[in-house]
Structure 1
Amino acid sequence: MSSEETKTDVILIGAGIMSATLGTLLKELVPEWKIKVFEKLSNAGEESSNEWNNAGTGHAALCELNYTNEQTDGSIDISKAVKINEQFQVSMQFWSYLVNSKLIHNPQNFIRRFPHMSMVRGEENVTFLKKRYETMSNNPLFKGMEFSDDREKLVEWIPLIMQDRPLNEAIAATKSDSGTDVNFGALTRMLFDHLKNTNVDIKYKHSVENMERHNDGSWELKVKNLDSGSVERHSAAFVFIGGGGGSLHLLQKSGIPEGKQIGGFPVSGIFMSCNNPEVIAQHHAKVYGKAKKGAPPMSVPHLDTRYIDNKQSLLFGPFAGFSPNFLKNGSMFDLVTSVTPNNVFTMLAAGAKEMSLTKYLIQQVMLSKEQRMEELREFIPGAKSEDWDLVTAGQRVQVIKDTEAGGKGTLQFGTEVVTSDDGSLAALLGASPGASTAAHVMLEVIQKCFPQYMKEWEPKIKEMIPSYGESLMENPELLDDIHTHTSQTLGLSERELAFS
């Protein structure tokens, strides 16, 4: 065991997209700060950020029906969609800045243009989708969205989905050509290659075992070298916990009051991957459907064209599964050991409230491949079982906490940031839209944790994010300028629609 303690300015726990984004932002704002990264696995972007562990959708609320709700008066509330779209625009601007500054290269290796579509069946759902389209298309953020319930047009848009479909079926879709497929694994690795070139000390196969706060407000971390078994001690003025599902345990070990009544519930994902090149070649979009009544938001089915390792793929899902692991490479005891005297009543309250979720997960786990194929055939009527394989995706830990609106033990579907009162520690928890909004979320961390520097840093932030501090929805000219600039810089021009 090493008794030597090394001091640094910033420690990032976990080598995923969030730590990569925060580290890159801080290196642009204060290049002289020393940053260390600790990652349990042998490379960056191997857990939730990995391209096989998420849907690869650039979540801009163009197609995700769970971001828009029909109100009791029949109107459509798009406030959440607006919020997520604006947050995605921040990420696009940041990535564009990195490419322009030659800090990362070859953006086509992590982002491509693909239409984002919503598709529904049944008269009631068609009526809902048309109202949603009419509301959204009047907003500058969703300019260019198209709607159709015409079979000929739908055959043109989604030939694979329309093939062998009953002629009398009510069906409709919306299409936004500005949608994207994002390989967050590739982007994460690019950002860590850049950070390594800026002298960020990245330690793979190093596990943070414990942490405690010093009297001066700094943090001391006990870190185990998984190769040698030796234990090191590292201290920093600021610590970010971006360890995916593993963040909850470390947040609890920190002992900060803000993390004491928070629990987590793990949900695993399963996708079906097409192995037939002829079928793959017939679909060129990300098509999201509507979750069935009673199903949780994370269950929205979608048929996605993906580009992984520069190869076109076709995936359908997700199907939910249950594992007590908080990480794909985690321990079966993760869930049990996350229950503490501080959160036990919150967890029990959630268990009582979420019986429908428990029932849903049990049903999903028990599905046979043929039953999953039947769900796929709601999208592709003629799908053949031999053309599809099951792929296990990543683990997501849904946050459970007490809220004013939902009461004790409320299950949260989204991304949560927990910060200490003095701003010396921040932890990221939760799931979608997650990676798509990484730049926005990490800027919020910077604002909360470094308020004393914000006036000094603002000009540089505006250089990286031209819309910083402004609403794009309320500034259509700026929105158009940003769309034009980011599309050119990231290679998302009309030629991308040729799917070369």
Structure 2
Amino acid sequence: MTNTQHDTDVILIGAGVMSSTLGVILKQLAPNWNMTVFEKLSRAGEESSNEWNNAGTGHAALCELNYTVEKPDGTVDISKAIKINEQFQVSMQFWSYLVKQKLIDSPQEFIKALPHMSMVQGEANVDFLQRRFKALSDNPLFKGMEFSDDPETLLEWIPLMMKDRPAGDNIAATKIDTGTDVNFGALTHKMFDYLVDEGVNMHYNHAVTDMKRTDNGLWEVKVRNLESGKIASHTAKFVFIGGGGGSLHLLQKSGIPEGKHIGGFPVSGIFMSCNNPAVVEQHHAKVYGKAKVGAPPMSVPHLDTRFINNQKMLLFGPFAGFSPKFLKHGSVLDLFTSVKADNLVTMLAAGAKNMSLTKYLIQQVMLSKEQRMQELREFIPNAKTEDWDLVVAGQRVQVIRDTDAGKGTLQFGTEVISAEDGSIAALLGASPGASTAVQVMLEVLERCFPENMAKWEPKIKEMVPSYGQTLMENQKLLDHVHTTSAEVLGLEEVKEKSTLLKQA
């Protein structure tokens, strides 16, 4: 075992969609900076970014009911939906730039146009969906959304879900054709291919074991080669921790004050995958339902058309599972070793406040396949058990931290934790995650490189024309962004075919 020293400008930990996005942005803004990436698995995008480990939804709040909250007075708060939609538009602009500049190719391999729908049952839920539709359809970001509670229209939209449905079911849905299915694994591979071509040093089968701040203000990162066992020391001016569920442990190793009093709770996902091509062909949309009373936001059931390696698939879920691992390829000790003296009270408070989540997870883990089929039949009444297989998806670590709401508050989103001097940043949390990666990484730049932002702004606006602006307040720019993104990413042709088919 030897210890060697290497110097670089930027270290990215984890070869997922977040690190690849930040890497590509930095390579465009500061092409002369040296960059090194460490990934403990044998290839990029094998954890949360892998196409089997996430829902593949381009999260733009078009169909996800948990992004629109009903207020006590009966009105629907769409502020979070607007924020997420604007952030997804940023991602679309950036991906379009990459394709237009030939930095990545074949966009159809990572993104496809696909209707996004919300579906609810019961009088109260139908009333909520109608009010949600009214609130969203008045906003230019959600232009083109349709609502229907007419069985004939719904049969046209979702034939598989309406077939053999009991007469008299009170059901309604919204549909918008500008939704997308995104293969974040394929996108991650394309961006890392570009970075390698630009001379970025990629190190697979390398695990970061420790890090510390040096006297001269650099970060010293200890890295173990998992194949040879050798340990090397790398120093960098800036470190980004984008290791998915593994980011919390690395943030703790950094020792920065901002990383104190933060914990994590792992939740694994299980989907059901249809193995009958005839059934798969009868559905063409992402249809999100409403979480049951008492269930956490990450449990929203959805029936998704997916395109994986250009093969059409049909998945239903998610069902929650529990494992103490923070990564799918992690250790069963992950949860226990994340508990430190500074976050112990935070974790205990979270446990006391979230007994309902614990109960929910226990119930989910104990579900039999037939019980899962019963939930699927709320979407597909005539679903046959033999047509569906169980697939274990990725691990998600929900952030636990002290907030104004009290100690040990469970956070359902994506958070960036950075040092006061901007020398290190870590990404924690889950959905909407990858869909908003570009916006999140631009915020990392604003926090960590404020002295460079004025110089970088013209290039950022070239990559993301709406940077610094609000699309919903600029109709002309919004129309331009939608049209350009659809054309460059190959989505417009698909939508035109869909319109012609509907008219026929």
Q: Work out whether residues 306 and 312 of structure 1, in 8 Å CA contact, stay in contact via their aligned partners in 2.
A: yes
Question: Hey, what does 1:64 align to over in structure 2?
Answer: 64
Tell whether 2:402 aligns with 1:402: yes
Aligned residues with identical type, % of pairs: 72
Tell whether 2:176 aligns with 1:176: yes
Deviation of residue 4 (structure 1)? Answer: 2.3
What is the SS of the residue equivalent to 2:473?
Answer: coil
Please give the TM-score of this superposition, normalised by the length of structure 1.
0.99
The CA distance in 2 between the partners of 1:234 and 1:479, in whole Å, is 44
Q: Work out whether residues 222 and 232 of structure 1, in 8 Å CA contact, stay in contact via their aligned partners in 2.
A: yes
Question: Hey, what does 1:222 align to over in structure 2?
Answer: 222
The CA distance in 2 between the partners of 1:497 and 1:426, in whole Å, is 42
Question: Hey, what does 2:334 align to over in structure 1?
Answer: 334
Deviation of residue 497 (structure 1)? Answer: 6.5
The CA distance in 2 between the partners of 1:180 and 1:84, in whole Å, is 14
What is the SS of the residue equivalent to 1:287?
Answer: strand
Tell whether 2:154 aligns with 1:160: no
Deviation of residue 496 (structure 1)? Answer: 4.9
Q: Work out whether residues 299 and 319 of structure 2, in 8 Å CA contact, stay in contact via their aligned partners in 1.
A: yes
Question: Hey, what does 1:48 align to over in structure 2?
Answer: 48
Question: Hey, what does 1:421 align to over in structure 2?
Answer: 420
- Listed one character per residue, the Cα deviations across residues 153-181 of structure 1 (whole Å, up to 9, x for unaligned) are 00000000001101101000000100000
Query: What value does the CA root-mean-square deviation take over the aligned residues?
Result: 0.9
Please give the TM-score of this superposition, normalised by the length of structure 2.
0.98
Q: Work out whether residues 12 and 38 of structure 1, in 8 Å CA contact, stay in contact via their aligned partners in 2.
A: yes
Instruction: After TM superposition, list the pairs within 5 Å mapping 1:71-470 onto structure 2.
Output: 71-404=71-404, 406-470=405-469
Q: Work out whether residues 4 and 231 of structure 2, in 8 Å CA contact, stay in contact via their aligned partners in 1.
A: no
The CA distance in 1 between the partners of 2:53 and 2:70, in whole Å, is 31
Counterpart residue type for residue 426 of structure 1: A
The CA distance in 2 between the partners of 1:333 and 1:199, in whole Å, is 36
The CA distance in 1 between the partners of 2:273 and 2:173, in whole Å, is 23
- Gaps of at least 5 residues in structure 1 are none
What is the SS of the residue equivalent to 1:477?
Answer: helix
Deviation of residue 217 (structure 1)? Answer: 1.6
Deviation of residue 378 (structure 1)? Answer: 0.2
The CA distance in 1 between the partners of 2:49 and 2:406, in whole Å, is 32
The CA distance in 2 between the partners of 1:176 and 1:487, in whole Å, is 15
The CA distance in 1 between the partners of 2:2 and 2:421, in whole Å, is 30
Question: Hey, what does 1:8 align to over in structure 2?
Answer: 8
The CA distance in 1 between the partners of 2:14 and 2:454, in whole Å, is 29
The CA distance in 1 between the partners of 2:475 and 2:345, in whole Å, is 47
Deviation of residue 71 (structure 1)? Answer: 0.7
The CA distance in 1 between the partners of 2:494 and 2:473, in whole Å, is 30
Deviation of residue 494 (structure 1)? Answer: 4.0
Deviation of residue 215 (structure 1)? Answer: 1.6
The CA distance in 2 between the partners of 1:177 and 1:387, in whole Å, is 28
The CA distance in 1 between the partners of 2:284 and 2:453, in whole Å, is 43
Q: Work out whether residues 271 and 316 of structure 1, in 8 Å CA contact, stay in contact via their aligned partners in 2.
A: yes
Deviation of residue 474 (structure 1)? Answer: 0.7
Q: Work out whether residues 472 and 478 of structure 2, in 8 Å CA contact, stay in contact via their aligned partners in 1.
A: yes
Tell whether 2:21 aligns with 1:35: no
Question: Hey, what does 1:479 align to over in structure 2?
Answer: 478
Deviation of residue 498 (structure 1)? Answer: 4.7
The CA distance in 1 between the partners of 2:25 and 2:216, in whole Å, is 26
Counterpart residue type for residue 433 of structure 2: G
Q: Work out whether residues 60 and 81 of structure 1, in 8 Å CA contact, stay in contact via their aligned partners in 2.
A: yes
Q: Work out whether residues 113 and 497 of structure 1, in 8 Å CA contact, stay in contact via their aligned partners in 2.
A: no
The CA distance in 2 between the partners of 1:448 and 1:6, in whole Å, is 26
Q: Work out whether residues 112 and 496 of structure 1, in 8 Å CA contact, stay in contact via their aligned partners in 2.
A: no
Task: Figure out how many residues of one structure are paired with residues of the other and give that number.
Answer: 499
The CA distance in 1 between the partners of 2:495 and 2:218, in whole Å, is 48
The CA distance in 1 between the partners of 2:411 and 2:21, in whole Å, is 23
- Listed one character per residue, the Cα deviations across residues 354-387 of structure 1 (whole Å, up to 9, x for unaligned) are 0000000000000000000000000000000000
Q: Work out whether residues 114 and 497 of structure 1, in 8 Å CA contact, stay in contact via their aligned partners in 2.
A: no
What is the SS of the residue equivalent to 1:147?
Answer: strand
The CA distance in 1 between the partners of 2:215 and 2:441, in whole Å, is 27
- Gaps of at least 5 residues in structure 2 are none
The CA distance in 1 between the partners of 2:425 and 2:482, in whole Å, is 31
- Listed one character per residue, the Cα deviations across residues 314-343 of structure 1 (whole Å, up to 9, x for unaligned) are 000000000000000000000000000010
Q: Work out whether residues 3 and 230 of structure 2, in 8 Å CA contact, stay in contact via their aligned partners in 1.
A: no
The CA distance in 2 between the partners of 1:291 and 1:3, in whole Å, is 52
The CA distance in 2 between the partners of 1:92 and 1:235, in whole Å, is 34
The CA distance in 2 between the partners of 1:333 and 1:179, in whole Å, is 39
- Listed one character per residue, the Cα deviations across residues 194-217 of structure 1 (whole Å, up to 9, x for unaligned) are 000000000000000000001222
